[in-house]
Structure 1
């Protein structure tokens, strides 16, 4: 079986979607599936310095990079990809498309229909009510002309939660839905991470650390967290906020100005984009992970925090929120200042509860969010699709 995963970009700056495709393909290859990735060399507005239009080894995986002709948000049209896929699509038994409303997966779905190659679609949270409300008219037109047809000609839709499956049904998607969570990798244990992190950022050992680690985008609502902590500092609540992630310069500057305006500049550090050891140190050395996002189909950052033993505070917009609540791995609150303020204060002032929830979250992540388990089930789904295409 030979499979091609198609995604608009695997820029490290894009966080979750990039980690998903790389880790998923790595796990599928470990199961003996011949899998490649096709993408552009977009680097969140810049360009990755990689060879183009040839299969190279990227982070230990076979990847085809193609130049985007333009960057229209995440649309990323690529004539080079178009030509290559038309000529080579029959080399693959099945396509696995990541994302909606973007050129590469759209093109792949259309070509797959024309050349009768089966394909699946990973909708990546793009059918949540919040996501569909962004650029609403454009998405309505795109759905009517292209996307709904492409979805309904897929062999299967990969949903990462029951909530995402409900979104797909509500949108009118007809093919079978495969509900499989995403996975998370356990980070390498760092000895005395809490002391090392505090030393690096000159934070007292007695001060609990609140971590926000995600792409800096208004969807993730870092403004709400900053505003909430501004209220808590008025109550003499002790904390230090670490904001990790990258975003557009103007947006990041607006967050920095907001930190100053609510008088938590002495209680906040902007860390920037992190990976590897620095990321592991943040996850293992902090005391509390807060992501007051509008919407997440899964939330890789939340799963990473849980596997690192961090208690979670997030919103019902996260589609694994019911699992977090059921496991008592964190607190789910509405995205407003007052409930968020109450939840943060409650955990900041209860180290034993933080430890209890962190332990529960780690257990949940290790048991349910295993890349090996996900890959085995997805490989089985691929085989079922191919058996239907080629019955004995």
Structure 2
């Protein structure tokens, strides 16, 4: 069975969806199946673990690109099944148009892009989306063999964004691979590179530096907690894609905690895992998160997580008692930090062990790859390749 993943971009800085896809595709290509990737990106050097077909350049924020449509018309017959990742970009529109015409089966991962938070946070953008929805994304979802959600919370919330909605909904596993096991070596290496963190109790944020992620909430809550706990240090790791970091730095200066925050930028490989292993706790007070690959990565490293109830796997975090959950505001973020600080060492160690168990049982990438192959086999139609 040969699959094709269709996605707007494979650049790592685009966040969780492509980084999870990278790990899933590596596993698929190590199985009896194979997968390739079609993207709107212009060609660049990449170590992606599958053959990549670049169709860029693309135009406008929508990613308009007639090349992807022409490529699919010429090559779709070579594949048995198609996976569309994400909404609101031209790749989905082009894929539905060509695949429906040639009777080729596809599924769609929405990756939280139907969350009603966007409607409330960006009402003008939502109005523009409504103009496009009836003849664009609505039809893409309606005609898919399945629309994939990575948590029950995401599935339920997706129904609230547009009253015109029809989809064959399916909730399935998602996640990430396990971390390297040489945790002490990686931690020591990271501390050697960042000596200001030695002997500190580190709160780690690792995601895009973006308003949606609740970065300002974390800085404000940290400022309050740091007044009583002089050994606290906050690491704000991630790419700054829209200049939001400057406002956050100004906020930290106003709160007199700028010297207690590190901004290492985007972390990958050993640096990323070193940051996880060096931290005592992971915090993501996001206003909207369909899954949160970084939450799963923190659990894999045995780190309790402090998250908002807008991270859609919050039920699992509470059920497994592997962190604390509260509202996506400053008070809720502070309560999470204070609950963690109130733990004695024995209770913390037990929570840390449960975190690793939670990851293994719920969020390991092996199951996500297996389930994707199962879904493809379940939905491949009887049409011969044309």
CA distance in 2, matches of 1:49, 1:384: 35
Task: Give the conservation status (yes or no) of the 8 Å contact 1:98–1:124.
Answer: yes
Specify the alignment match of 2:85 in structure 1. 98
How far has the Cα of 1:265 moved from its partner? Answer: 1.4
Tell me if 1:49 matches 2:18. Answer: no
Specify the alignment match of 2:129 in structure 1. 139
Specify the alignment match of 2:237 in structure 1. 244
> Deviation per CA, 1:224-255, whole angstroms, max 9, x where unpaired?
10111122233345301111101236212222
Tell me if 1:373 matches 2:367. Answer: yes
Q: Any residues of structure 2 matched to 1:212-227 within 5 Å, and which?
A: 212-227=205-220
Aligned residue among 298, 321, 336 for 2:329: 336
Task: Give the conservation status (yes or no) of the 8 Å contact 1:158–1:179.
Answer: yes
Cα RMSD between the aligned structures? 2.0
1:5–1:327: structure 2 CA closer, same or farther, 3 Å change rule? same
Moved more, 193-202 or 357-366: 193-202
Task: Give the conservation status (yes or no) of the 8 Å contact 2:85–2:109.
Answer: yes
CA distance in 2, matches of 1:339, 1:181: 28
Other structure's SS at 1:95 match: strand
Task: Give the conservation status (yes or no) of the 8 Å contact 1:310–1:354.
Answer: no
How far has the Cα of 1:206 moved from its partner? Answer: 3.9
Aligned residue among 136, 145, 149 for 2:139: 149
Moved more, 350-359 or 295-304: 350-359
1:230–1:380: structure 2 CA closer, same or farther, 3 Å change rule? same
CA distance in 2, matches of 1:379, 1:192: 36
Task: Give the conservation status (yes or no) of the 8 Å contact 2:26–2:50.
Answer: yes
Q: Any residues of structure 2 matched to 1:156-305 within 5 Å, and which?
A: 156-170=146-160, 171=162, 173-188=165-180, 189-203=182-196, 205-248=198-241, 250-305=243-298
CA distance in 1, matches of 2:233, 2:226: 10
TM-score, normalised via structure 1 length: 0.90
1:245–1:326: structure 2 CA closer, same or farther, 3 Å change rule? same
Other structure's SS at 1:212 match: strand
Moved more, 167-176 or 185-194: 167-176
Task: Give the conservation status (yes or no) of the 8 Å contact 2:326–2:335.
Answer: no
TM-score, normalised via structure 2 length: 0.91
CA distance in 1, matches of 2:74, 2:293: 35
Other structure's SS at 1:310 match: coil
CA distance in 1, matches of 2:170, 2:83: 13
Task: Give the conservation status (yes or no) of the 8 Å contact 2:151–2:290.
Answer: yes
How far has the Cα of 1:168 moved from its partner? Answer: 4.0
Moved more, 116-125 or 189-198: 189-198
